[in-house]
Each structure stands twice: as structure tokens, then as C-alpha cells.
Amino acid sequence: MNRYLLAEAWTRTLLLQDHNTRVVVIATTALGIAAGVIGSFTLLRRRALMGDALSHAMLPGIGLAFLAAPLIGWSEKSLPVLLAGACASGIVGTGTILFLRRYVRLNEDAVLGIVLSVFFGAGLAILGLVQQTSGGHAAGLESFIYGKTASITTTDAIGIGVTAVLTITFVGCLFKELTLLCFDEGFAAAKRFSTLGLDIGLMGMVIVITVVGLQAVGLILMIALLVIPASAARFWTTHVATMAWLSAAIAAVSCLVGALISASVPDLPSGAMIVLVAAAMFVVSISLGPQSGIFTRLADRRARLLPPPGVRRNPSAEDRVAGDRPEVGVGQTKDADRRYPGTAP
């Protein structure tokens, strides 16, 4: 009887017969498509950790929005207010990163580390103040840190779908400019493209995707959807357009499979399962990918070392010299040494 019930539950989940399961799967899949497309350009732009810094920079905005919402007549648990605070904080974090990177003599990784740690520390301090308020313990703000896919509603799914469409439209309209920005920023500036504007637009899309993905995977794991699928796609192709679509496909499959596993097995967090599925696909890509995959490189190295079938290996220079040397007999040692220096009798 228990096996029958378990099989029925799995069947209902895999066939998406439950409304909540359908909403969660569709929303997370759309989120994966958006993150995969934009993540490929942040990876090529060498801004892979930018999403990590921005996601952590949103935490202070969530706490401040919770504290400020009653002052303007809104509920402190209003999702639009909390997401607006996260977006505003993310914009401030983006401006801080771009300002430090342009006007301060610091490496970009140092700038990202500073912004990430300072904003996240400020966010934790603000959340400590939230916990001291009357409704702070029941605020549920920790769901924005770790994710809570089960709380996604139909409205949230529509918002995520609209974000995915906007992301694809943004990339489609500025594909040439973004590609040039990623590979040759100086040439893009010489062609009179606004590199700062393109950077702001790219980071703006990262902010939007991160904001709408807070409920699905949370602040901490959102960086995985922006980096892992794009990194896995890089091992399969060298074309930017193919990489973007392949990254979107890998992220979508990861979200789909991870959400289904989480819905089928009780007490499994969906965000963690999505990241684990994406990590498994990354391991397959890094092992079998035709572009710099581990087994591909081993096969290429072996092919270079071995001669083609039916072709004898050419003797090395030492073998040819050794073969040309005559045998030295008695009375011929000095002549042989003069003709072939270094030859032992």
C-alpha cells in the first residue's frame, strides 16, 4: 500500500498534476533560462563574481524595507516592498562597484570582495535589528537568504516569465555590442559604443534576475545559476550565441530536474537540489566537453604522441647519430674520436 501511494505521488509530480508543482516548475525553469543567457555574458566579461556581490548587496535593502514599510503605511511583509528594497540596495552596490573600479586603484576582485563583505555584514546587522522588533521573529526574511520555492505564486511565476522575456530581448537587441564588450572593450570604445552604458545595462539585468530569483534559490545560491551553466556551456562550444543558448538550456534543465526532485522527496530544499543538478551537469561538461574537456585533452595528447596507423615512427636524432657511428676496433680509437667526438671505445 505504501509503495502504491509513493508511486502515485511520484506520478503526480512528474506529470505536473498539482497546481503548485506546475507553478514552481514553470517559474524556476524560466528563471534558469534568464540566468543562463545573461550569465554567459558576465562570464565572458570576467564578471562572474559580480552576481555574487550583487546578491549579497541586496540583503541590507531587504532589512531596511522591512523596517521602513510601516512608516509609509505598507505591511512590513509586503513582497513588492521587500523586493523594491532589494533592488534599490542592488543598484547602490552596482554603483559602488563601478565607481571603485573606475576611479580607485584596486583590482576588480578586491573591489568585489570589499562590496560583498561590507554589504553582507551590514545586511546581517540590520536583520539583527529586525529580530528585535515585535514581528521580527515571524518575518520569514531568512527565506530570501536560502530560498523558499514553495512560496512562489502564480503572480511570481508571471513576473519571472516576463523577466526571462526581457532578458532574451535585451541580449537579442544588443548581442553584437555585448559580444564586442566582452572580448575587446577598447575596440568597442573606438567604435563609439558606450561601454559604461553597456556595463550598466548588463549589471542591471543581473540585478533584475537576482531579485526575481530570491524566492526560488535565495541570495547565496543565486550565484550558482549565473555561473555554473555558463561555465558548463563553455566546454561545448566556442561560439557566443551557441554558448548563450546552451547555457540557458543547462540552467533550465537544472531548475526543472531540481524542482521535481524537491517536490517528490519531502524536506529537500529546492534551491540546493537545483544547484546540485547544475553541478552534476558541469562535471559531465568538464569531463566530456569537446572544448578543453578532460578526456578530450587526454585523447588529443595521445593522438599527438602516437603516429598515424601504418606510419612508422621516425627515428630520433640521437638514434640516427648512434646508427651512423662505426664500431671502433683496436687501433681505430683516435680516428673514431676525431670523426665522432664523445664516442667511447
* 267 pLDDT above the threshold of 50: yes
The dihedral region occupied by 74, where left means phi > 0, alpha psi between -120 and 50, and beta the remainder, is beta
Measured distance CA(57)–CA(87) in Å, rounded = 9
Q: Among 33, 271, 329, which Cα is nearest to 152's?
A: 271
Q: Which amino acid is at 115?
A: V
* 90 pLDDT above the threshold of 90: no
DSSP, res 184: -
Measured distance CA(225)–CA(167) in Å, rounded = 14
Between 70 and 13, the more confident residue is 70
Phi first, then psi, for residue 119 (nearest 5°) are -65, -40
CATH fold of 2-298 reads ABC transporter involved in vitamin B12 uptake, BtuC (1.10.3470)
Q: Among 209, 249, 238, which Cα is nearest to 87's?
A: 209
DSSP, res 235: T
pLDDT range class, residue 280, cuts 50, 70, 90: very high
Q: How high is the pLDDT of residue 1? A: 47
* 246 pLDDT above the threshold of 90: yes
182 within 8 A of 45, measured Cβ to Cβ: yes
* 181 pLDDT above the threshold of 80: yes
Measured distance CA(339)–CA(198) in Å, rounded = 71
Please, what sign has the CA dihedral across residues 176, 203, 280, 149?
Answer: negative
Q: How high is the pLDDT of residue 134? A: 67
Whole-prediction pTM: 0.76
**Of the ranges 24-38, 85-99, 137-151, which one carries the lowest mean pLDDT score?**
137-151
244 within 8 A of 35, measured Cβ to Cβ: no
The full set of domain ranges for the chain reads 2-298
> What is the CB-side half-sphere exposure of residue 226 using CA atoms within 13 A?
34
